[in-house]
Amino acid sequence: MTVRVGESARALPFQKAALPLLDDAQLRKNVRHATDTIQRKRGLVVAEQTDWQELRTAASAIKRHTLKHLDTYLTQFEERFTAAGGVVHWASDADEANRIVLGLVQQYGGKEVIKIKTMTSDETRLNEALEQAGVHPYETDLAELIIQLGHDKPSHIVVPALHKNRAQIREIFLREMGLKELGNRPEDLTAAARRFLREKFLRVKIGVSGANFLIAETGGVCIVESEGNGRMCLTMPEVLISMAGIEKVIPSFEDLEVFLQLLPRSATGERMNPYNSIWTGTHEDDGPKHFHVVLLDNGRTSILADKESRQTLHCIRCAACLNTCPVYRQTGGHAYGSSYAGPIGAIFTPQVLNMEHAQSLPYASSLCGACYEVCPVKINIPEVLIHLRGRVVREQKSALDPEALGMKAMATVFGSRHRFEAAQRLARVGQWPVVSHGWVRHLPGMMGNWTAVRDMKAIPDQPFRAWWKQRQKKQEKQA
Amino acid sequence: MSGTREAVLKRIRSAIGGSSADAAAREAEREVLPREYRRAGSLDADARLAMFIERLHEYDANVVRTDAARVAVAIGAILQEHGQRSVIVADGFPVEMLPDPITPKSGAAGGPAESFAFRREEKANVEDLDRCDGIITSCFAGIAFTGSIVLTHGPGEGARRFTLLPDRHLCVVRTEQVVETVPEAMDRLAGFATAPITFISGPSATADIEMMRVRGVHGPRFLDVVLVG
């Protein structure tokens, strides 16, 4: 199997990849501006939804229930979707999914496809696979278009080009659209994209999309979007191919009332995004004549198998955890080396890769818990991060790894009061070469990794226990 | 490929500890899932409509409130105000709501009467939709809390492409179609769950460039709502 998430298997460790990004002042300014704006808007519309916590609880329960019965709900979706005129395909991994999509495009005789922003196709690197076979994919979401024309990588789940400002985008459009003149107001740039894409919407016969929700009860598919490019891609072409992770299924049509209230407020800070489309199979005289859904595993079943982190699959890709994360807000998305950045990426990516790659990601967090607080489906991301850090040590590091040995020794010391106090006494005497003014700022050797990014209080002359004993004795005397 | 299907299902079943085929147990479990969120609204009719109008405004939609007797006049005034001459009307849209195409009963006092031509949806192809000045539809429901209009693309509501390609969308909403909450709208949609459904909340928009909201990307740039009743 070739499970992959974008290019994460070859990505640098987070801590290394983050360094040059931290030096990019423009990028950090752009990221901070964008995440601040979304967070402010989100705060307003979440506050007015007085039943927000009840919605989160319901969403989390629906997702937990769905995953527990995932085989049934997927086959139910398959049955109803097929009855409504669609065709379901199953893909074990990224390559198989790409092969299926390419096969369909070739079967319908297409040389071009128009695409709605889809995280799953980014995950499987579908565009590359299509291009290699001579099929040209046109990204139609404005931000994805900016990324595609700029030969760049997305850095955010919802607004993938947030690291670019208007001047940078203008440069890209001038160059890649072959324009002579172009203003730099967002209105001018948006109008250029509208003109560039309108002709494609009317001409290209095959659309490719992801899916926000697959409805088991009806065989329906739901896509939420803002620009209308989604509606274009799913109604204008003759053929529509939607690639969706197996965790995207929900049991009933009614369940949408929960997610359609949570998703827009969390993702863009809107009461409702401009367009939600729900449709079931093919409809006569309205929309594509052929509709295919590719159900993608690509490592998701290995997340499902780990009970403690299964909740990772609740994710509805709103990116609220990115916007609030103190780490993401400093580095932006590229440091994560994956299609999925931020806290959700830090738990999703290493798990689908079976912990064999992206092992640095569970450490790309201060465990502050802000991500859990904003998550509309209540994924306890800090809990999963800690669980995954444990898995990295247990599954990936040799027992003779110096860090593992060090930790084992620490555990022995901390496990007994006697040994702990002895170690304290020893450290108090031995620490003088590294202490200055009561702080340890640089430790030698491997332990230097710890002090590279933080200072540590020196071991005090008198530990708390000794001070307490002394205080009690004094009080007894006075009594 | 059927091999893959079986393999994926097998991995799922092994991950969740067996098949979940017991339908009765699953349904019982589903029925007791916590759904403590707000289903029904709490506003009276006036407050509900006021909220609907306010939130449509916040999404840059234009709203005109009128009564059944004056719908045609209100629609004529909107078309005239924006100089819309070539207008396509959704099949099944009530003809009596349309203004006289030649001499509009315009509300624009004293302004020169411009002529506009109506065409029926079934007679219009994609190029006509692309080039026309605007389209007119009715709707299935309105949601006050989110400022949304819901279409099931039945008679009068147009096919999906119909409300997508033109630059201006004029939508007639009857006051009794407006509910307060999203769950109330979903209740009304229950019988239409397999129809194509579109929720429209304001004109198409993007905030992809520096988080500044720009109206009108690929869908209609303008949404006019005529609220009747």
Q: Tens of pLDDT along A132-186?
A: 999 999 999 999 999 999 999 988 999 899 889 999 999 999 999 999 999 989 9
- Phi then psi dihedrals of residue B148, to 5 deg: -110, 155
| pLDDT of residue B105 exceeding 50 | no
- Quickly state the pLDDT bin for B104 (edges 50, 70, 90): very low
Contact B8 A305 (CB under 8 A): no
**CA separation for the pair B128, B125 (Å, rounded):** 5
**CA separation for the pair A112, A114 (Å, rounded):** 7
Residues in chain A with CB shorter than 8 Å from the CB of B155 are none
Per-residue pLDDT, B112 = 45
* Domains, chain A, with CATH or none: 8-301 (3.40.50.10420), 402-478 (no CATH)
Contact A54 B38 (CB under 8 A): yes
What are A308's two structure tokens? 């403690």
Q: What pLDDT digit, counting tens, does each position of B61-102 carry?
A: 999 999 999 999 999 999 999 989 899 999 999 999 998 864
What are A342's two structure tokens? 């931020």
* Contact predicate A338/A11, CB 8 Å: yes
Contacts of A277 (CB under 8 A, 6+ apart): A222, A223, A224, A225, A230, A231, A234, B160, B196, B197, B198
Q: Between β-strands A456-457 and A439-440, what pairing exists: parallel, antiparallel or unpaired?
A: antiparallel
CA distance A368 to chain B (A): 26
CA distance A227 to chain B (A): 5
Q: Which residue has the higher pLDDT, B106 or A382?
A: A382
CA B36 to chain centre: 28
Contact B210 A166 (CB under 8 A): yes
Contact B211 A283 (CB under 8 A): no
User: Nearest residue of A to residue B201 by CA position?
Assistant: A274
Among A31, A272, A303, the residue to mutate for chain B (most B Cβ within 10 A)? A272
CB atoms within 10 A of CB B227: 23
Q: Would you write out chain A's pLDDT as a tens digit for each of its 479 residues? A: 778 787 777 788 898 899 999 999 988 999 999 999 999 999 999 999 999 999 999 999 999 999 999 999 999 999 999 999 999 999 999 999 999 999 999 999 989 999 999 999 999 999 999 999 999 999 999 999 999 999 999 889 998 998 899 999 999 999 999 999 999 899 999 999 999 999 999 999 999 999 999 999 999 999 999 999 999 999 999 999 999 999 999 999 999 999 999 999 999 999 999 999 999 999 988 999 999 999 999 999 999 999 999 999 999 999 999 999 999 999 999 999 888 999 999 999 999 887 777 888 999 999 999 999 999 999 999 999 999 999 888 887 777 777 778 888 889 999 999 999 898 888 888 888 888 888 988 888 878 888 888 888 888 888 888 899 999 999 999 98
List residues bridging with B87 in a β-sheet: B118, B134
| pLDDT of residue B153 exceeding 70 | yes
Residues in chain A with CB shorter than 8 Å from the CB of B11 are 297, 301, 304-305
Contact A194 B218 (CB under 8 A): yes
CB atoms within 10 A of CB B12: 24
CA distance B17 to chain A (A): 9
Identity of the residue in A92, A232, A280 whose CB atom sits nearest the CB atom of B218: A232
Contacts of A86 (CB under 8 A, 6+ apart): A219, A281, A282, A291, A292, A293
What are A23's two structure tokens? 């030096």
Angle CA A84–A88–A90, to nearest 5: 165
**CA separation for the pair A375, A373 (Å, rounded):** 6
Q: Which residue has the higher pLDDT, B228 or A284?
A: B228
User: Nearest residue of B to residue A165 by CA position?
Assistant: B210
Identity of the residue in B38, B143, B146 whose CB atom sits nearest the CB atom of A51: B38
Distances (CA, A) of B130 to A202, A404, B158, B168, B219: 9, 65, 15, 11, 11
- Quickly state the pLDDT bin for B108 (edges 50, 70, 90): very low
Contact A186 B212 (CB under 8 A): yes
Strand arrangement, sheet containing B148-151: A249-250, A213-215, A220-225, A275-280, B197-200, B148-151, B141-143, B178-179
Domain segments of chain B: what residues? 1-33, 41-228
Per-residue pLDDT, B101 = 67
Q: What is the DSSP-derived secondary structure letter of residue B41?
A: -
User: Which residue, A214, A238, A268, is CA-closest to A39?
Assistant: A268
- Does the beta carbon of B45 lie under 8 angstroms from any beta carbon of chain A? no
Contact A69 B190 (CB under 8 A): no
3-class DSSP state for residue A34?
Answer: helix
Helices (H) and strands (E) in chain B, counts: 6, 12
3-class DSSP state for residue B83?
Answer: coil
The class (CATH top level) of B41-228 is: alpha beta
List residues bridging with B118 in a β-sheet: B87
% of chain B exceeding 90 in pLDDT: 72
Q: Which of 112-141 (B) contact A at CB < 8 A?
A: 126-127, 130
User: Nearest residue of B to residue A279 by CA position?
Assistant: B196
Q: What is the DSSP-derived secondary structure letter of residue A286?
A: B
User: Which residue, A239, A212, A209, A214, is CA-closest to A121?
Assistant: A209
* Contact predicate A248/A215, CB 8 Å: no
- Does the beta carbon of B9 lie under 8 angstroms from any beta carbon of chain A? yes
CA distance B60 to chain A (A): 11
**CA separation for the pair B118, A181 (Å, rounded):** 37
